[in-house]
Amino acid sequence: MHSFAHGETIVIVHRVPKLVAGVKQFDSFGNLIYDEVRVTVSGAVVWPQANTETPQNVERSSTTYYVALPDDSLAVLPVDRIEWRSHSYEVQGEMEQNTNMATGTKANTFAMKRVQG
């Protein structure tokens, strides 16, 4: 596993189905119950994609970032969350594997979004 020289530390919060004796657990409404598995990743690259604000007397804004993971074997799913710089972000869409054409470095990339208000 390599890391990017000036990368950030993020925490991937994986949501995995809760199992008891190998059986998935459901709540009283029939919804799957999840456990969380936290994976700390050092050397991730994070850069801004978009910042929006909702007008018309509504205090709401959203910020979206792209993330490149330093190890192409790490996986992030759309149901996962990301914790970065004391904030929680939702994963947006599917993760993609990209290769830098100049260096040949491979990285898994995805978008994450934080909504406030």
Q: Return the structure tokens found at 85.
A: 């710089």
Span 57-108, pLDDT tens digits: 666 678 899 999 987 677 899 999 999 999 999 999 999 988 878 888 778 8
Read off the CATH number of the domain in which 61 is found.
Answer: 2.40.10
- The length of the chain is 117
Report the distance separating Cα 12 and Cα 82, nearest Å. Answer: 5
Span 6-48, pLDDT tens digits: 789 999 999 999 999 999 999 999 999 999 999 999 989 999 9
In a domain, 1, yes or no: no
The dihedral over CA atoms of 92, 43, 45, 103, expressed in degrees to the nearest 10, equals -120
In a domain, 77, yes or no: yes
In a domain, 2, yes or no: no
pLDDT value at residue 36: 95
Number of domains making up the chain: 1
Q: The domain containing residue 50 runs over which residues?
A: 8-116
In a domain, 105, yes or no: yes
pLDDT value at residue 2: 57
CA angle 79, 11, 21 (to 5 degrees): 55
